[in-house]
Chains A and B, each alone.
Chain A
Amino acid sequence: MTQPTLSVHDLACVRGDRLLFKGMNFQVEAGELLLVQGGNGQGKTSLLRLLTGLSTPEAGEVCWRGDSIRRQQETYHREMMYLGHANGIKDDLNPVENLRFAAGLQGCAFDENQAIATLRNQGLSRCLDLPCRVLSFGQRRRVALSALLLAGALLWILDEPLTGLDIHAVALMEGLIRTHLAAGGLAVATTHQAFNLEGMPVRRLLVGNVAIPELA
Chain B
Amino acid sequence: MAEPSMHRFLLAVLRRDLTLAARRRGDWLIAQFFFVMVASLFPLGVGPEPEMLARIGPGVLWVAATLASLLSLSRLFADDHRDGSLEHMVLSPEPTVLLVLGKSLAHWLIYGIPLLLIAPILGLQFNLTWAAILTLEISLLLGTPILSLLGSVGAALTLGLRGGGVLLTLLILPLYVPALIFGAGAVDGVMAGTGAEAHLSLLGAFLVLSLLISPWIAAAALRVSLE
Please say whether chains A and B are actual partners in one complex.
Answer: yes
From B13, B90, B91, contact of A104 by CB (8 A) = B13
B197 in the interface, Cβ–Cβ < 8 Å?
no
From A55, A92, A102, contact of B88 by CB (8 A) = A102
A174 in the interface, Cβ–Cβ < 8 Å?
no
A87 in the interface, Cβ–Cβ < 8 Å?
yes
Contact check, A52 vs B91: say whether CB atoms are below 8 A apart. Answer: yes
Tally of A-B residue pairs with Cβ under 8 A?
Answer: 89
A131 CB, min distance to chain B CBs, angstroms: 8
Collect the chain B residues with CB atoms within 8 Å of residue A103's CB.
12
Collect the chain B residues with CB atoms within 8 Å of residue A80's CB.
91
Contact check, A105 vs B83: say whether CB atoms are below 8 A apart. Answer: no
Given contacts A90-B20, A97-B19, A107-B8, contact A54 B83 (CB under 8 A): no
Contact check, A54 vs B5: say whether CB atoms are below 8 A apart. Answer: no
Within 8 A of B (CB), among A132-155: none
Interface residue SS majority, chain B: helix
Within 8 A of A (CB), among B27-48: none
Query: How many positions in chain B have a CB within 8 Å of any CB in the partner chain?
Result: 30
Contact with A along B73-110 (1 / 0, CB 8 A): 00000000011110111111111000000000000000
Contact check, A87 vs B83: say whether CB atoms are below 8 A apart. Answer: yes
From A84, A85, A97, A106, contact of B92 by CB (8 A) = A106
Given contacts A54-B226, A82-B87, A92-B24, contact A104 B93 (CB under 8 A): no
From B6, B9, B23, B95, contact of A92 by CB (8 A) = B23
Given contacts A55-B227, A92-B23, contact A101 B87 (CB under 8 A): no
Contact check, B8 vs A86: say whether CB atoms are below 8 A apart. Answer: no
Collect the chain A residues with CB atoms within 8 Å of residue B95's CB.
74
Contact check, B16 vs A78: say whether CB atoms are below 8 A apart. Answer: no
Contact check, B92 vs A88: say whether CB atoms are below 8 A apart. Answer: no
Given contacts A88-B85, A90-B85, contact A54 B9 (CB under 8 A): no
Chain B interfacial positions (CB closer than 8 Å to A): 3-6, 8-9, 11-13, 15-16, 19-20, 23-24, 82-85, 87-95, 226-227
